[in-house]
Structure 1
Amino acid sequence: MKALVLAAGMGSRIRSVAGDLPKPLLPFGGASILAHNLRWLASAGVRDVFINLHYGADAIRAEVGDGSAFGLNVRYLFEPALLGTAGALANLGQAFDATMLVVYGDNLLRCDLDALIDGHRAAGAEATLALFDQGAHVHTGIAGGRVEIADDGAIVAFTEGEAARSPLVNAGVYAVEPSILDLIETGRLVDFGRKVFPQMLAAGRSLRGQVIETDGFCLGLDTPASHAEGQRLLAEGRIVL
């Protein structure tokens, strides 16, 4: 299994906490967010990881190196101009030749990745989004729209604001197939949430959501408030890394 970890963001909203560090290197619970995510991927059997880079690229390379300290083979994709969450995937070229995990590098998610992949493949989906329930899972700071799914897991709508009746939220971890590349222009800024997933939904393509297990959690750590809340949850023992 291969994974792409998105680590190219500017981190402007958390600069007061992170200083000059890129968001993925923000310390949390004795290690950087990125280090936690890499160890999580390795524990799930992932061996090949790609990390996209822009702001703080040299600092990330210095911390992670070739990935061997994490039991991984890490390769880097430097973006002179940001390509967005989906544009980074297109930048993989021929390395994206089978099911790929995409992980947002400034989130800390814990879920059963084997179960996510198994559900994705059993459904024959082109993309499967890990989802958390705002009323049931420990989480911090992740706003944005909600996801509505059918009984079989098929995504039927993305909703915002007052129309957002569903408690389910995108957790920032996806299983995706190379077939979605026809929706992503190489070398252009393309976002999953703003373009790729809505286009898939409109075209009736196989897009599904899978709610993470009950003891899973999703911490968005991209603002001072969400980072502080995550630290509180960690100190109280409500999350374990």
Structure 2
Amino acid sequence: MIAVIMAGGKGTRIASVSTEVPKPMIPLCGKPVLEWQLECLKAQNITEILLVTGHLHQVISDYFGDGSRMGMQISYLVEESPLGTAGAFYYLKDRLDGDFLLLNGDVMFDVDFARFVQAHQHYGGAATIFTHPNQHPYDSAIVVCKENGQVVNWLHKEEKREWYANRVNAGLHLFSPGIFEWMKAHGMLQKPEKLDLDRQVLKPLLADGLLYGYQSPEYVKDMGTPERYEMVQRDIRSGLVSARNLANPQKAVFLDRDGTINKYVGFLRSAEQMELLPQAAQAIRKLNEAGWLVILATNQPVLARGEVSEEELTEIHNKMETLLGKEGAYVDAIYYCPHHPDKGFAGERPEYKIECSCRKPKPGLLFRAAQDYHIDLKKSWMVGDSAADMGAGKAAGCKTAGVYGEKSGDESFATLAEFAAFLCGREKA
């Protein structure tokens, strides 16, 4: 597979770090971000690279040459005048005849591309974008997907709804060769012209059902501001960047929802009732920054009882993610059990009135997450405010921590914030 890397950025937002090299050549821990990208690709046997350059092209070509010193084959497409993030497709159409990666040259990443490619081939669309949660969804474009991965909405910053899931386009893309015929059919590629990849190519694919999103918690960070640049350098030094590649076993903190993240109100039936507990967002952010996957595992019998629809539950979780995102925190995934075996409720849904393997204290939700994200359950924690949470964690082989009065876990803490301080402090010791 060929990887096309858009390496022509000027880096105006990060000019205080460096103005003498193009953005992909800004050094991170002594090495250009573009070199980190190429090393990640090389480690996964992706060795044929096409660099789309422009601004200070010679700096890039002098450094990498033909790629032979890295054991790669590097060729160049030089834009004499800027063509935007998708104008290069005019030239790519004559050079590519199979699936190809298109990567932004100014992001730091270490991801398992085999998983990404497998998902793209399974979806069968014209394009698959790599999506993930981030610490600043409020100033990012939000991607809305169906359960099968199909993207059904693309909300730019000026288009966001009140509540939204923290799912952001990370700047890594997979395309099938059919994208060129689709672009031609939509009046593009007739001549070299400036095109915006997100607004003029990816978002319009939604109307034809041809765009999919691959969700992953792996490390992908834009280092385009001085603050994010320093954060990426810290993450490289700590080993977090490489550790988050899903080829490696992951460590996770599984969190109950009601009474652990948000205030307990009995059966929570509407987004209006969702209110984060004090310091919950700060605790989750601490876990995020320390490299733990943070995964929600919650029983939601209100679905079986017919008191909340899937759409209403999604809105509740969207509000939770929005509130967390405003504080720079996020959950990597949400798993919920919709079942409730007891019958006799008005409006109940018979398909959910079953004995299942996912309703805590059974461990099914944790097992599903472990399968999806290569989680080492023995190195993970289940945290919650009930004996059912502790039971699920123990049945899955996790360590357990009770919060807000729950005493049946391996450890107990007054608040989620105290647990996060304990866990992150223990790792630093």
- TM-score computed with the length of structure 1 as normaliser: 0.90
Q: CA RMSD in A?
A: 2.0
Deviations 1:120-177 (A, max 9, x none): 112211100011123xxxx689942111111110011111344160211111111101
Question: Could you tell me which residue of structure 2 aligns to residue 169 of structure 1?
Answer: 168
Deviations 1:30-64 (A, max 9, x none): 31101011111111221211001111100000111
Q: Does the Cα contact within 8 Å between 1:140 and 1:229 map onto a contact in 2? A: no
Query: What amino acid does structure 2 have at the position aligned with 1:149?
Result: C
Query: What amino acid does structure 2 have at the position aligned with 1:219?
Result: K
| CA gap 1:28/1:140 in 2 versus in 1, 3 angstroms | farther
Question: Could you tell me which residue of structure 2 aligns to residue 192 of structure 1?
Answer: 197
Q: Secondary structure, in 3 states, of the residue corresponding to 1:115?
A: helix
Q: Give the aligned length.
A: 234
Q: Does the Cα contact within 8 Å between 2:85 and 2:195 map onto a contact in 1? A: yes
Q: Does the Cα contact within 8 Å between 2:110 and 2:241 map onto a contact in 1? A: no
Q: Does the Cα contact within 8 Å between 1:141 and 1:219 map onto a contact in 2? A: no
For 1:195 and 1:72, how far apart are their aligned partners in 2? 32
Question: Could you tell me which residue of structure 2 aligns to residue 91 of structure 1?
Answer: 91
Question: Could you tell me which residue of structure 2 aligns to residue 5 of structure 1?
Answer: 5
Superposed counterparts of 1:123-138, under 5 Å: 123-134=123-134
Shift in Å at residue 236 of structure 1? Answer: 4.0
| CA gap 1:227/1:67 in 2 versus in 1, 3 angstroms | same
Question: Could you tell me which residue of structure 1 aligns to residue 143 of structure 2?
Answer: 147
- The one of the two structures with greater contact order (alpha-carbon pairs below 8 A, sep at least 6) is 1
For 1:140 and 1:220, how far apart are their aligned partners in 2? 11
Query: What amino acid does structure 2 have at the position aligned with 1:29?
Result: C
| CA gap 1:143/1:74 in 2 versus in 1, 3 angstroms | farther
Question: Structure 1: which 4+ aligned runs deviate by more than 6 Å?
Answer: 139-142
Q: Secondary structure, in 3 states, of the residue corresponding to 1:18?
A: coil
| Ranges in structure 1 where 5+ consecutive residues have no aligned partner | none
Q: 2:153 aligns with which of 148, 151, 157?
A: 157
| CA gap 1:141/1:17 in 2 versus in 1, 3 angstroms | farther
Question: Could you tell me which residue of structure 2 aligns to residue 220 of structure 1?
Answer: 222
Question: Which one has a bigger Cα radius of gyration?
Answer: 2
User: Hey, which of these two has a bigger chunk of strand by percent?
Assistant: 1
- TM-score computed with the length of structure 2 as normaliser: 0.52
| Ranges in structure 2 where 5+ consecutive residues have no aligned partner | 244-429
Question: Could you tell me which residue of structure 1 aligns to residue 18 of structure 2?
Answer: 18
Superposed counterparts of 1:2-151, under 5 Å: 2-134=2-134, 143-151=139-147
Shift in Å at residue 218 of structure 1? Answer: 1.2
For 2:90 and 2:177, how far apart are their aligned partners in 1? 9
Deviations 1:64-114 (A, max 9, x none): 100112221110001011112221233224221110000100001222111
For 1:141 and 1:47, how far apart are their aligned partners in 2? 33
Shift in Å at residue 235 of structure 1? Answer: 3.7
Deviates more, 1:160-169 or 1:122-131: 160-169
Shift in Å at residue 206 of structure 1? Answer: 1.6
